Amino acid sequence: MSLDLEEVIGYHFRNPALSREALTHKSYAYEKGELAHNERLEFLGDSVLAALVAHLLFAEHPEEDEGRLSKRKAALVSRSSLAAWAERLGLGRHMLLGTGEESTGGRTRPSILANALEALLGAVYLDGGFAAARDMLQRCCLDSGAEFVETDFKSRLQELVQKKHKVTPEYKLVETSGPDHDKSFSVEVTLGSRTLGEGDGKTKKEAEQAAASDALNRLQRPRES
């Protein structure tokens, strides 16, 4: 990991091999004949993230019940949130990618960015413990303007599309990957033959919300003249 990224996340690794592994996509490892890539750290980071967010929300919102806390947690650990945070940190430019992933836009792919952030959190946890991982999460994500907004992107998109086109957008599962215990789903939302957005998630519902969020971002983006 470069020193500038360590400055951004506020943590300096004692074991640099962990940071390199966290930013190594499996396509690069396979291409170079290496064994280490970031999927194991992603697995660990996913659990660390869930525990950290649950702990922080429990402490910061003593007045809220389980249902409200669960909604906050779901929003903060969603793939779209993780990808947005990773993009803000500039993780994409530090990734080690195989030639194929590099040529197809892997550095900006939300699923790769989200996975890399989880892997990096897992690496920090292994290297520095729970407190170091908590500090990184608060510095890089929760203190970076990431406020909880209870938003149903699918409903917002449906309302927008129906108002303008009088039809309902459709969601299609385009890919399922990963082992049974850790599947990842890729979904696209379409309007007729036009793809409005794409998204990934640990569940189909999460992937659909991510696709709807992507579609809203695209539709609200100013068109080039």
Q: Name the average pLDDT for the chain.
A: 88
Shared domain check, 165 and 134: no
Task: Kindly report the backbone phi and psi dihedral angles of residue 146, in degrees, each rounded to the nearest multiple of 5, phi listed first.
Answer: -85, 90
Kindly state whether residues 101 and 166 are assigned to the same domain. Answer: no
- Given pLDDT bands bounded at 50, 70 and 90, which one contains residue 110? confident
Each residue's pLDDT tens digit, 46-99: 999 999 999 999 998 899 899 888 888 888 888 888 888 898 899 999 999 999
Query: Does 39 score more than 60 pLDDT?
Result: yes
Assess whether 57 and 37 both reside in one domain: yes
- 109 and 8 fall within a common domain: yes
More confident residue, 75 or 160: 160
184: pLDDT strictly greater than 70: yes
Token pair for 24: 């190594």
pLDDT tier at 178, thresholds 50, 70, 90? confident
Q: Give the tens place of pLDDT for each residue, 127-152.
A: 999 999 999 998 888 764 444 444 56
Please give the pLDDT value at position 146.
46
Sequence-separated (6 or more) residues with CB below 8 Å from residue 125? 44, 45, 48, 132, 133
Is the predicted pLDDT of residue 101 greater than 80, yes or no?
yes
Residues 39 and 113 in one domain: yes
Q: 75 with 95, same domain?
A: yes
- 225 found inside a domain: no
| Contact predicate 182/167, CB 8 Å | no
- Split into its structural domains, the chain has a count of 2
Integer angstrom CA distances of residue 134 from 45, 124, 142, 181: 12, 9, 10, 26
Nearest to 116 by CA among 94, 136, 135, 133: 94
Q: Is the pLDDT reported for residue 221 higher than 80? A: no
One domain for residues 36 and 80? yes
Quick one: 160 and 67 in the same domain?
no
Range of the domain at 107: 3-142
The SS3 call for residue 161 is helix
Both 9 and 112 in a single domain? yes
Is 148 a domain residue? no
Specify the DSSP class assigned to residue 154: H
Q: Is residue 209 part of a domain?
A: yes
One-letter amino acid for residue 173 of the chain: L
Q: Are residues 9 and 54 in the same domain?
A: yes
Q: What is the pLDDT of residue 149?
A: 45
CATH number, residue 133: 1.10.1520.10
Of 142, 172, 198, which one is at a domain's C-terminal end? 142
**CA 213 and chain centroid, separation:** 13
98 and 24 fall within a common domain: yes
Strand partners, 194: 191
For residue 161, pLDDT over 80 is answered with: yes
What confidence score (pLDDT) does residue 34 get?
84
- pLDDT for res 119: 98
- pLDDT score at 223: 58
204 burial via Cβ count (<10 Å: 0-12, 13-18, 19+):
middle
Catalytic residue ranges:
46, 118
Assess whether 66 and 24 both reside in one domain: yes
Residue 105 lies in a domain: yes
Question: Angle, to 10 degrees, between the axis of helix 204-220 and the axis of helix 153-165?
Answer: 50
Residue range 168-178: mean pLDDT, rounded: 94
Residues in CB range of 69: below 8 A, 6 or more apart: 54, 57, 58, 61
